[in-house]
Structure formats: C-alpha cells, structure tokens
Structure 1
Amino acid sequence: MSGMSSTQPWDVQRLPRADDKVFLITGGNAGIGYFVAEQLSGTGATVVLGSRNPAKAEVAMAAIRSRVSSARVRAVRLDLADLSSLRTAVESMEVDRLDAVVHNAGVALDAPPRRETGDGHELMFGTNHLGHFALTQWLMPLLSTAPAARIVTTGSFAAKSERLDLDDLHSRQGYRPKRAYGRSKLAQMYFGLELDRRLRAVDSTVASVVVHPGGALDSLTPSRPPVHARTTGAWLRMAPAALLVHGKHAGAWPAVRAVLDPSVRGGQLWGPRIFGLRGKPCREPVWSQLTDTSVAARLWDASCDLTGVDLGTIPG
C-alpha cells in the first residue's frame, strides 16, 4: 500500500501492490463484490470471498484465477442472515490478521411479500445492516492486529433519497421493497460513519470508510462467464445509459480505492466522480442526513439490542 503517494492521480487500471495483505469481501462471488475481489486479487493480496453459497464461490474463484494467474483467492462460507453462524465463519478463515473487510454482500428484493431472517428481522435490514454490524464484532480482533486496517462499508445511491424510521426499522408498516432496501443501505452508511467516530475515540488503528457504487448495471458490465454473461443485445439496448451510469466493474472502484489508497481516511464517503453515478472514484461530501449523529447513535444502540452484539468495547 505504500507504493502510492497521496499526490499521485489514482489509476483504476494500475493499482498499488498489497503483497502479504489479507482482504475479506462479503458477497465476493457475484456482482460488484466479484469485481472488488478480482481487482484486489491483482495486487498480490490474499483475497477471501465471503459467500453463503460454496458452489458459487468456487465458480467465482475459478473466474478470478482465469484472469489473474497469480491470484491468491479462497472462500469462506458466510451467511449474514444467520447471526449465530458468524463467529464460526470468522474462525474458519484461519488467518491471524485482516487488513481490510469490504462489507458488500446484500439482498435486494423488488417485489412483496415482506420476508424475514431466521432471527425475525426484515430480510434486507437483517442481512445488509445487522449481519455486517454483528460480523464486525467478530472481525475486530483480526483487524486490530493489522497495522492500519480498513472497514469499508458499501452503501447505495438508492439510500440518498431515504430517511430512517427508527420506530419501524423492520418495515412492518406500509412495506415497500425498494424503500426497505434503500433504508437498509442507509443504515449501513450510518453505521460505517458512526463506527469510525467510535474508533477515533479510542485511538484505534482501524479506520472505517463508507463508499457507494453509483449506478451500476449488469448490461454495462463486461462478461465474466460463468459468473456474469452480457449479451451484445443487452449492451446495445443500454449503451445510451452509459452517459449517466456504468457497469459493476466500475461500481467496484470506490471500494477498491478505499481499501488500497493511503490517502483515504476514516469517516469519509467515496463514490463515482460524475454526478455520483459513474466514473472514477473520488471523495464526496457526506450526505446531509448522514451528518445527524443522534440518528446514528440511536441506530447503533438499536442494532446492539437486535443482534445481541456489544460493539461498545472496541479495542484500541
């Protein structure tokens, strides 16, 4: 990571080396998570794919190795909807430190009915936010062992127009899937920023950064068979949209930069440069609703209660 000066322009095609580093990507077997893993695998790091489906993880690892001959990639079974399984999942990684985790995995439902995790949490809020919240507790000792670890939380542009309802975090009232998804991602972003405030309060060596991929479409994403196959017809139909949005390979860029760039600092928000929707990764102002620290603190306390996790004892 020391190969980049903060004064040099960031080149998404020429990433700094990260030999001997260990990175965990939740949901690294598909979508944006796959491209985060593929790009980081080219830096010499060991990349661990967190996936609830071992077969899909195997397919993703084969796809990465076919493009990055030197890739050091492996997988761990990780089901964020099952909070009781997370400690075992972390132990099964069998690493003595973790230099970064990208909280990327997520569920996005586009139609009713409302669904719940086995713990009784609304599925998107329970997986996208509470699962990562609880996972962080078990990862913290490994992150604290690294000299300057990063926790990178992937939000969504869909969260920008949402507001949290702290009295209905499980979307029991007037359930609308797209709104519930946006709120689950907004909760993740609140968490990432609040986590960094608490890390700074105890002088932790770990930093927490929030990113979002902008508008990332499958139809503008290059093929990675059999993980992702793009037809010529789909690309031609959506080519005009490339003026405003991009593919999932580009949607991965903010997270990759947040992991690797030494100039990135905790508490920052990174996204695509052009209207926050497409282009190279850059720092952007923290969205106005995310600056409300009272909401963040109340969400933190509620998340502790709902998961049974006490992240109040963050190691320095």
Structure 2
Amino acid sequence: MTRHQQWTAAHVPDQTDRVCVVTGATSGLGLATARTLAHSGGHVILAVRDEAKGRRTAADLAAERPGARLEVRRLDLADLTSVRAFADGLHADHERVDLLVNNAGVMAPPRTLSAQGHELQFAANHLGHFALTGLLLDLLGAGRDPRVVTVSSLKHRQGRLDFDDLSGARRYHPMEFYSRSKLANALFGHELHRRLSAAGSPVRSLLAHPGYAATALPAGSVGLVKTLFGRLLTPLAQSAEQGALPQLYAATAPEARSGEFFGPSGPGELRGAPTRVALAPQATDTETARRLWEVSEQLTDVRFVLAGPART
C-alpha cells in the first residue's frame, strides 16, 4: 500500500459475522480496535485481564451501537494457565475465529516475574501471544479470510535478544526489555507468516505499529520512562483512535497481504495515515527467528500445527 491520507476507520469493510478476538480491549489501541470492529458488525471477543472493566467496556460499546455482538472473556497473557483456559473456552463455544489481534502489552515496569517465572514484558507481550496464537490456530484455519495481527512498536528497531538472560536475572533495564519484547513480536509475526505460507495455510500473519499514540501503556512504567511518555510527550502524541489505524488496516483491508508491516505514514512513522513500513533487519533474521520460535515452544509448551487449506 502506498501512503493513503484518506484511509480512516470509516473505510473498514463490513465485518458482519466475523469472529474477532482483541487482546487488551479495554483501553487505548485495543479499545479503539474493538470499537471499530463492533461498529462494523463484527462479533468481538474482548480478551481482558480485568473482567469487571471488560463488562463496563462492553456495556459502553453496546450503548454506542445497539445490537453490537460482544463477549467478555478473561485472559491474563502473563499467565500461561490463563491463556490455555481462554483457548479452551473459545474451542467450547466457537467453531471458528476469523481475526486475532495480538494487541495487549505492558511497558517498562520494574523487574517482575510472571506466574511461570518469565520476565513480565517478555511473558505478556510475546510468550502469551505466541501461545494464544498457537492454541487458536485450528479455529483460525476454519475462519473466513483468517488473519493474525501482531502489534509491535517502533522500539523493535532498538531491540536485541539475549537468549542467555531472557529473564533479566543478570541485568535488567525496563525500556531495553520492552524493546526486546517488541522485537520478539516482530520476529514472531514475520516467522509465522513464513511458516504459514510454506504450509499452504489460509491464515495470514501481519504486523502493525501505532507510531506514537496517547494510551495508558506508560502508566505501569517506572522513572523517566513514565515521566517522559506518560506526561511530557503526551501533547505530541496522536490519539489512540489514530494509532489503531495501522492494525485495523492489517486486520481488515482486502489488499493487506500476509507478511506485511503497517505503521503511520508521517515523518519518523510517529503519526499519520497507515502505510506499509519496513521491519528492522534483526526482525527478519531467520536464525534468530528460528531460535526464538524453539525457545518459545519450550517455555510455553505450545506447538503449532500448521495445516494447509481445509479440504471440501
């Protein structure tokens, strides 16, 4: 796609009867994405850590669009037990999933370990979404124009993976580990595309980043990161609704192709209409991607079953 200044949420195609899972759907980019999909007729599953907040969000969305099809389901991406329970619930109640938006994330908290002992940002931003995608892949394979959209960040370009210290036990810097988790998102989305394509799967894997958008993401950060991104630079940020456009484009535009990465079209990719952008070289390194995939399988105990098109 070339730069398209006029592409907005109003250009999202009709999503009637599409089953759409959006992680982190109660605020920021996730809420903007869920709202647009619901307003476009989608059956939107709000995958949220706080169910009470999720129910309030669903009620607000239903008030905005009477008749909106919404579900609220608990999902704590930092806890692999919760990820499996969420996937089991979807398998019990749905025959297919048409869209999975891997949106939720945490940014630059103090060093914290997940329920399974992994560094929190790597656990919630990458491992949880890796496991969720793998566990839902059969439902996606049964979907109509099925897509997985994984949300990365401009910060993936500063990311480097240290496979000898993924937990930060030796050295931890909050923003460095955030960049690392966003590089992991980019590596995963690109490698998933490669593997799905090689298997002849109908599922598309796409990537997006919001540029610099005003969201609640910095609220859990520490020190200068919280001050800088949570307060000082906020007047320069675009809205969450504008920041969500790249992931909405990846999720719904007919011309968006598997393997593509979308971000804002303005200077520095900080703001503007969605356009196709480039991944950092380290995000397309096949050896790093292979090793990350293998490590992620080991840490989550999830193996991807990459099937080709369904036979009729």
Same fold (TM over 0.5): yes
Shift of residue 80 of structure 1? Answer: 1.1
In 1, the alpha carbon distance for the partners of 2:234 and 2:139 equals 42
For 2:202, the aligned partner's letter is T
For 2:107, the aligned partner's letter is A
- Asked if 1:296 is matched to 2:289, the reply is yes
For 2:221, the equivalent position in structure 1 comes to: none
Q: How does 1:30-179 map to 2 (within 5 A)?
A: 30-93=27-90, 94-110=93-109, 112=110, 114-179=111-176
In 1, the alpha carbon distance for the partners of 2:51 and 2:234 equals 32
1:140, 1:315 within 8 Å by CA — same for their partners in 2?
A: no
2:29, 2:241 within 8 Å by CA — same for their partners in 1?
A: yes
1:12, 1:280 within 8 Å by CA — same for their partners in 2?
A: no
Aligned mate of 2:253, from 258, 261, 270:
261
Q: How does 1:219-234 map to 2 (within 5 A)?
A: none
For 1:224, the equivalent position in structure 2 comes to: none
Shift of residue 185 of structure 1? Answer: 1.4
Q: Which has the higher helix share?
A: 2
For 1:214, the aligned partner's letter is G
Q: Greater relative contact order (Cα 8 A, min sep 6): structure 1 or 2?
A: 2
For 2:224, the equivalent position in structure 1 comes to: none
1:51, 1:57 within 8 Å by CA — same for their partners in 2?
A: yes
For 2:241, the equivalent position in structure 1 comes to: 249
1:42, 1:70 within 8 Å by CA — same for their partners in 2?
A: no
Which moves more between the two structures, 90-99 or 195-204?
90-99
In 2, the alpha carbon distance for the partners of 1:30 and 1:194 equals 28
* Alpha-carbon displacement from aligned partner over 1:34-83 (angstroms, at most 9, x marks no partner): 11101111111101000111101011112212322342111111111121
Structure-2 change in CA distance of 1:74 and 1:173 (3 Å): same
For 2:277, the equivalent position in structure 1 comes to: 284
Shift of residue 238 of structure 1? Answer: 4.9
Structure-2 change in CA distance of 1:129 and 1:175 (3 Å): same
In 2, the alpha carbon distance for the partners of 1:89 and 1:39 equals 23
Shift of residue 127 of structure 1? Answer: 1.1
* Alpha-carbon displacement from aligned partner over 1:206-251 (angstroms, at most 9, x marks no partner): 01001111101149xxxxxxxxxxxxxx999954x2xxx3111111
For 2:134, the aligned partner's letter is Q
Identity across aligned pairs (percent)?
40
Q: Over aligned residues, Cα RMSD in angstroms?
A: 2.1
Per the normalisation by structure 1, the TM-score is: 0.86
For 1:314, the aligned partner's letter is L
Shift of residue 14 of structure 1? Answer: 3.3
Per the normalisation by structure 2, the TM-score is: 0.87
Aligned mate of 1:210, from 207, 212, 224:
207
How many residue pairs get aligned? The number is 289
In 2, the alpha carbon distance for the partners of 1:236 and 1:184 equals 24
Structure 1, unaligned stretches of length 5 or more?
1-6, 220-233
Structure-2 change in CA distance of 1:285 and 1:159 (3 Å): closer
For 2:195, the equivalent position in structure 1 comes to: 198
2:209, 2:263 within 8 Å by CA — same for their partners in 1?
A: yes
Which moves more between the two structures, 60-69 or 74-83?
60-69
- Asked if 1:314 is matched to 2:311, the reply is no
For 2:172, the aligned partner's letter is Y
Shift of residue 300 of structure 1? Answer: 0.5
Shift of residue 12 of structure 1? Answer: 2.8
Shift of residue 177 of structure 1? Answer: 0.8
Structure 2, unaligned stretches of length 5 or more?
217-229
Shift of residue 85 of structure 1? Answer: 2.7
In 1, the alpha carbon distance for the partners of 2:155 and 2:279 equals 15
